[in-house]
């Protein structure tokens, strides 16, 4: 019996380790190739690790190919989206959860129904609209659709529902106005879900491809993913260089996730399980 | 009272204003545009715009390119969806298994691909799939197989994209399954064990029924997300070879932003929306049936805890 349990445990862990290795492999290989001297990745038999690690491709990317510009663009757009989305969605989510007003129920029904509608449906008119507003080919144009979102509003609403009304009423009795109650009492209590929302928005904005591809026509304004796709067209024959570009594109989000994953995972899964 | 009304306006105003202007208005405008012949000339001069009724839809439904794109997308959803959900469930079960060590580490590792940018990993996978120097063909060759032109062969291109998508996405559904597994009360397993049920029967009669609502939720998220396939074929195959990976959204992008057939592209968008609404309605029906059978408490449903309410809190895909 003991032996059988031991064997089962070994099998389970072998499976987990194998699956983890398989999952990590493309990422580890990406880093490995990015450090290879030019030409080494296109060889038979294929190499997994560089013979003599070099940073030359990172230098080329940041120097001649001006990748720092795109990195900065991605950072601007993602941080901007995060800032606005946390501010606006937390305000709206709190109001839906804790303030009574006429039409609240029907508003929630409309928002819930629209939750399954992807943004792509309205993408063409949105583009024409932004063109009229002079926002095409600007970071505001990239930002605008992610500044507020139904998913974000709901994430905050679900969380804010758990705040006891007595707490808010106590502040009101003490003479605090509604905005004050939101800002000084509710918002600090919502901090964990705001971190979740911030990470989710940052990740979504950084990784978004279709919308910046459409809005940004000037290649000097490109965000990293759009720039990388463009580079890939010209440099298909330079795997080492492209892998370095992929590393630079992927790394910032990965670090943000690793630093804040506890909040992110807790918030995302509670949102899916609670009513 | 008045102060509260002002607070509601101030708090809700910015988000609703933005959503209205940049989400709801474009959505309705999209429907209107799909009934016009809005094209490159109308972009420059609005007087070239004409109302054409349902003609865009007629043309679309008679166009083999559209049906090809719809078939490709369905292929991705019907094969890639279950594959992705299956891998997610397997990963969640393994991480959650009694006696598994380092759960947190494995969970993080399995989630890492979710955080990546699709364009970047598409680049990586294109080299893995390289017909001559790719590691995949090298591995096949050492087993005496291949080579396969993964992205260049119309029969293999979509499966190759699906494999990459499964790798990239399974971690997200895994954390939702993990949360579902953690919410199953331990006493259900104890009761089943007292009744003499082994591990396998506990899995069949406790775990699976209890996970049914989670599975349904994950399925809806995944199906809706997978119907929007775009970046993978855009970067890896440009919709080829021979149109075998051109998805509905890629078709919309090409019609709209390459050829400026905006009326036609809007019609494509609305056909996609109709399909998505159909999927959502189907999911709602299944959920009703599921909770009805749980309420009757027959068979496997007997061991089921009350399903967590309304799981519509969240759609990220």
Rounded-to-integer distance, Cα A12 and Cα A30, Å: 28
Domain regions of chain B by residue span: 54-303
Phi and psi based region of residue B238 (left: phi greater than 0; alpha: psi -120 to 50; beta: remaining) = left
Please, which pLDDT band fits residue A275 given cuts at 50, 70 and 90? Answer: very low
Domain B54-303 has CATH 1.20.120.1200: no
Report residue A48's pLDDT band, with 50, 70 and 90 as the boundaries. Answer: confident
| A180-223 tens-digit pLDDT | 999 999 999 999 999 999 999 999 999 999 999 999 988 889 99
pLDDT of residue B306: 39
CA A170 vs CA A30, A162, B7: distances in Å: 56, 16, 18
Angle (CA) A25-A31-A34 rounded to 5° is 135
Q: Which residues does chain A have within 8 Å of residue B14's beta carbon, measured at their own beta carbons? A: 87-88, 91-92, 148
Flag whether residue A232 sits within 8 Å of chain B, measured between CB atoms: yes
Q: Torsion-angle region of residue A103: left (phi > 0), alpha (psi -120 to 50) or beta?
A: left
Q: Which residues contact B14 (CB under 8 A, 6 or more apart)?
A: A87, A88, A91, A92, A148
Q: State how many domains chain A has.
A: 1
Could you tell me if residue A148 is inside a domain? yes
Interface probe for B, chosen from A45, A122, A233, A246 (most Cβ of B below 10 Å), is A122
Secondary structure of residue B51 in the 3-state scheme = strand
Spatial distance between the Cα atoms of B247 and B45, rounded to a whole number of angstroms: 31
CB-based contact (8 Å) between B311 and chain A?
yes
Rounded Cα distance, A174 and B205, in Å:
54
- Residue B305 pLDDT exceeds 70: no
Residue A196 lies in a domain: yes
CB A65 within 8 A of CB A246: no
Q: Would you state the pLDDT for residue B146?
A: 74
Mean pLDDT throughout B198-219?
89
User: CATH code at A245?
Assistant: 1.10.3720.10
Contacts of A127 in chain B (CB under 8 A): 257
pLDDT digits (tens, 9 = 90+) for B11-43: 999 999 999 999 999 999 999 999 998 887 877
pLDDT recorded at residue B47: 76
Decide if A198 contacts A90 (C-beta within 8 A). no
For residue B2, the model assigns a pLDDT of: 79
pLDDT of amino acid B299 = 43
What one-character DSSP code corresponds to residue B83? H
H helices within A101-238, ranges in order?
A: 104-114, 123-132, 139-143, 150-160, 165-173, 178-180, 187-189, 191-207, 210-215, 224-234
Phi and psi of A108, rounded to 5°?
-65, -40
Tokens 């080829």: give the residue.
B240
Instruction: Assess contact for B263 and B37: CB atoms under 8 A.
Output: yes
Q: Is the pLDDT of residue A274 over 50?
A: no
Indicate the range of B91-95, B120-124, B132-136, B163-167 predicted with least confidence: B132-136
- The region of weakest confidence among A177-186, B4-13, B232-241, B303-312 is B303-312
What is the sign, positive or negative, of the torsion defined by CA atoms of B26, B30, B33, B35? Answer: negative
> In this complex, do A92 and B11 lie within 8 Å of one another by their Cβ atoms?
yes
Calculate the alpha carbon distances from B91 to A25, A178, B61, B82, B239 in Å.
17, 46, 41, 14, 31
Of the given ranges (A117-126, B67-76, B83-92), which has the lowest mean pLDDT? A117-126
Whether B303 shows a pLDDT value over 90: the answer reads no
Phi, psi (deg, nearest 5) at residue B208: -60, -50
Please indicate if any CB of chain B lies within 8 Å of the CB of A257. yes
Distances (CA, A) of B213 to B77, B126, B210, B285, B304: 20, 37, 7, 13, 10
Average pLDDT, chain A: 90
- The Cα A76–Cα A97 span in angstroms is 31
Neighbouring CB atoms inside 10 A of B36's CB total 20
The mean pLDDT value of chain B amounts to: 87
Mean pLDDT over B117-140 rounds to: 89
Task: Classify residue A3: in a domain, yes or no.
Answer: no
Q: Find tokens 């994953």 and name the residue.
A: A261
Confidence tier at A1 by pLDDT (50, 70, 90): low
Whether ipTM > 0.85 holds is: yes
Q: What is the mean pLDDT of residues B239-257?
A: 91
| CB neighbourhood size of A144 (10 A) | 22
Q: Could you tell me which residue, B159 or B99, shows the higher pLDDT?
A: B159
Using an 8 Å Cβ cutoff, are A93 and A154 in contact? yes
Domain of residue A253, residue span: 56-273
pLDDT (tens digit per residue) in B90-103: 999 999 988 888 99
* A145 lies in some domain: yes
pLDDT score recorded for residue B90: 95
pLDDT at A66: 86
Domain membership of residue A74 (yes or no) is yes
A99 touches chain B (CB under 8 A): yes
Percent of chain B scored above 70 by pLDDT?
93
Under an 8 A CB cutoff, do B19 and A148 touch?
yes
A260–B contact, CB cutoff 8 A: no
């Amino acid at each position: 019996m003991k032996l059988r349990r031991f064997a089962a445990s070994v099998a389970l862990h072998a499976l987990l380790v194998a699956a983890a290795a398989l999952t990590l492999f493309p990422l580890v290989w990406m880093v490995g190739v990015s450090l290879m001297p030019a030409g080494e990745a296109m060889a038979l038999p294929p190499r997994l690790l560089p013979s003599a690690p070099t940073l030359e491709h990172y230098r080329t990317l940041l120097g001649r190919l001006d990748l720092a510009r795109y990195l900065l663009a991605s950072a601007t757009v993602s941080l901007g989206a995060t800032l606005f989305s946390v501010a606006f969605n937390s305000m709206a989510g709190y109001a839906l959860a804790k303030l009574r007003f006429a039409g609240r129920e029907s508003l929630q029904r409309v928002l819930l129904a629209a939750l399954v509608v992807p943004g792509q449906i309205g993408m063409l008119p949105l583009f024409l609209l932004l063109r009229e507003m002079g926002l095409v080919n600007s970071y505001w144009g990239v930002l605008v659709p992610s500044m507020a979102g139904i998913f974000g509003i709901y994430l905050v609403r679900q969380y804010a529902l758990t705040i006891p009304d007595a707490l808010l009423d106590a502040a009101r009795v003490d003479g605090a106005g509604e905005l004050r109650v939101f800002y000084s009492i509710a918002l600090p209590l919502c901090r964990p879900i705001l971190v979740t929302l911030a990470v989710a928005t940052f990740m979504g904005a950084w990784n978004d491809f279709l919308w910046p591809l459409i809005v940004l026509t000037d290649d000097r304004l490109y965000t990293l993913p759009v720039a990388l796709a463009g580079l890939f067209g010209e440099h298909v024959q330079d795997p080492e260089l492209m892998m370095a570009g992929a590393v630079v594109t992927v790394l910032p989000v990965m670090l943000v996730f690793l630093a804040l994953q506890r909040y992110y995972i807790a918030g995302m899964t509670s949102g899916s399980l609670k009513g | 009272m008045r102060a509260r009304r002002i607070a509601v306006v101030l708090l809700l105003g910015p988000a609703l204003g933005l959503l209205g202007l940049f989400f709801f208005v474009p959505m309705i405008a999209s429907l209107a545009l799909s009934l016009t012949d809005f094209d490159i000339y109308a972009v420059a001069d609005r007087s070239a715009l004409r109302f054409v009724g349902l003609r865009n839809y007629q043309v679309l439904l008679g166009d083999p390119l559209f049906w090809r794109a719809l078939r490709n997308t369905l292929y991705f959803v019907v094969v890639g969806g279950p594959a992705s959900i299956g891998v997610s469930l397997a990963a969640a079960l393994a991480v959650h298994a009694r006696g598994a060590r380092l759960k947190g580490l494995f969970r993080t590792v399995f989630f890492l691909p979710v955080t990546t940018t699709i364009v970047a990993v598409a680049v990586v996978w294109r080299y893995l799939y390289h017909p001559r120097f790719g590691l995949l063909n090298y591995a096949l060759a050492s087993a005496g197989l291949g080579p396969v032109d993964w992205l260049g062969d119309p029969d293999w291109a979509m499966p190759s994209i699906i494999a990459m998508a499964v790798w990239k996405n399974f971690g997200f559904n895994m954390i939702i399954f993990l949360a579902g597994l953690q919410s199953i009360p331990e006493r259900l397993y104890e009761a089943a064990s007292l009744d003499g049920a082994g591990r396998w029967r506990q899995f069949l009669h406790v775990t699976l029924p209890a996970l049914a609502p989670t599975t349904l939720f994950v399925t809806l998220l995944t199906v809706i997300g997978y119907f929007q396939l775009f970046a993978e074929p855009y970067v890896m195959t440009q919709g080829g070879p021979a149109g075998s990976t051109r998805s509905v959204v890629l078709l919309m992008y090409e019609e709209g932003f390459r050829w400026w057939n905006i009326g036609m592209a809007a019609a494509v968008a609305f056909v996609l929306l109709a399909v998505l609404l159909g999927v959502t309605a189907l999911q709602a029906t299944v959920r009703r049936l599921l909770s009805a059978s749980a309420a009757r408490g027959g068979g496997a449903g007997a061991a089921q805890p009350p399903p967590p309410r309304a799981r519509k809190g969240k759609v990220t895909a």
